[in-house]
A = this chain, B = another copy of it.
Amino acid sequence: MSARVVLAYSGGLDTSVAIPYLAKMTGGDVVAVSLDLGQGGEDMESVRQRALDCGAVESIVIDAKDEFAEEYCVPTIKANGMYMKQYPLVSAISRPLITKHLVKAAQEFGGTHVSHGCTGKGNDQVRFEVSFRAQDPSLEIIAPARDYAWTRDKAIAFAEEIDLPIEQSAASPFSIDQNLWGRAVETGFLEDLWNPPTKDLYAYTEDPGLGNAPDEIIISFEKGIPVAVDGQKMSALQIIEEVNRRAGAQGIGRLDMVEDRLVGIKSREVYEAPGAMVLIQAHEALEDVTVERELARYKRLTDARWSEEVYDGLWHSPLKRSLDAFIEESQENVTGDIRLSMHAGSATVTGRRSGQSLYSFDLATYDTGDTFDQTAAKGFVQLHGLSIQISNQRDRDGGFPTSAQK
């Protein structure tokens, strides 16, 4: 059987040149698959046509924006998905969706191989390939940048050699991945950790120092899912777009971090994710009001593990599936409204209301109306600390340093 490579096609130089290159290397032909994940930029039809111009036997474009919002971004909100407490998994959650459509295309078009443009030192190769093999291990995987040491210089030379009909833009100093959920930027200049990011890095957010007037927003959730902005019902996609726009205008969601990659190295990354940041912040604030203490404590551990699992490319793991079941159950009562004031680079929660609130004015107030039975507390405190009292006593009796002395 001759090879047919199904390629994750972005429309850029690298994957455009990859079309004839993969055909040459495999002796087969190439099907280009492009997804609209809300990344903006070029018209998707132009992208589709370019793949054909570069020699693809088929080129398809899939509008996956709603699917991405509902099946990938919303679960990330429920899990308060933040790798290293900071990074809202912008690229990490897009890879499983891209692979899903590539595997589908391979089945439809008789693909024997799948291919992606990632290098051998990043996380995305892992996310692509683990997901491919989880769905169809019979598909062979080609990662030209890694497997053929295929570089941009080689790509340009090859394009000239075969006279490929694409413009050669001046090499951008940035390596960018962007979608509805955010934008990731890498660049040589940032590889010195003492250098601050420069203003030209950003596209989704305004300068937080610009001094716009504050913007107040009310986000409503039902069972952990954002369902309305300022009282107006919207789809998940619309909400993320709306919050992206308004939070971005306030300079919210910029992130500059040193990140622990799965492949064992640390890297410097700059992200913008205005909507993701604000939606997760609002969601956490609503959980604070509606989720019981011990469930909330344990969910924080679960959220962290979920985020690591997704970051590490394991979206399709049985562990993630069970973590999802935990999280889904925990969202039963995460329903209500969060009001935030967005300004000058940060969002501040200024109000919460929920029909399923666990906050009880009668129990919390120190004013008239207090129903809390304070006499219960004396015994509670005594037994709460009893094992510690006994162990410190043991230490004193034995002449050992007590915890209290250390």
Residues of chain A having any CB pair with chain B under 8 Å: 84-85, 100, 119-121, 125-126, 129-131, 133-135, 137, 143, 146-147, 149, 175, 186, 188, 191-197, 208-209, 211, 214, 254, 256-260, 262-268, 284-285, 288-289, 291-301, 304-305, 308-309, 312-314, 316-330, 332-333, 339, 341, 343-346, 348-353, 355-361, 363-367, 370, 372-395, 398, 400, 402-404, 406
Contact = CB atoms under 8 A, between A and B. Distances in A.
A404 B266 contact: no
Contact of A359 (B268, B297, B365): B268
Contacts of A146: 374-375, 377-378
A202 to B, nearest CB: 13
Given A318-B295, A402-B316, A382 B129 contact: yes
B364 A191 contact: yes
Which 7 pairs of residues, A with B, have the shortest CB-CB distance?
A120-B374, A264-B386, A379-B379, A130-B385, A376-B379, A196-B350, A120-B377
Nearest to A395: B333
A264 B390 contact: yes
A366 to B, nearest CB: 7
A250 to B, nearest CB: 11
A358 B390 contact: yes
Contacts of A332: 400
Nearest to A363: B265
A406 to B, nearest CB: 6
28 contacts: A84-B288, A134-B402, A134-B403, A137-B389, A137-B393, A143-B378, A188-B366, A191-B364, A194-B339, A194-B351, A194-B352, A194-B353, A254-B348, A260-B288, A263-B372, A263-B383, A265-B360, A266-B360, A292-B317, A292-B388, A294-B314, A294-B319, A295-B319, A298-B305, A313-B381, A318-B391, A325-B329, A373-B382
Given A352-B194, A403-B321, A266 B289 contact: yes
A394 B345 contact: no
Contacts of A357: 193, 394
A394 to B, nearest CB: 6
B389 A134 contact: yes
B316 A258 contact: no
A327 to B, nearest CB: 8
Contact of A328 (B325, B361, B366): B325
B300 A304 contact: yes
Nearest to A267: B364
A244 to B, nearest CB: 19
A372 to B, nearest CB: 5
Contacts of A391: 292, 317-318, 333, 358
A28 to B, nearest CB: 20
Given A292-B388, A346-B345, A346-B346, A377 B121 contact: yes
A267 B289 CA distance: 9
A202 B297 CA distance: 29
Contacts of A134: 385, 388-389, 392, 402-404
Contacts of A260: 288, 293, 296-297, 387
A181 to B, nearest CB: 20
A376 B382 contact: yes
B385 A147 contact: no
A318 B377 contact: no
A318 B291 contact: yes
Given A376-B382, A403-B318, A389 B351 contact: no
Contact of A317 (B360, B367, B383, B388): B388
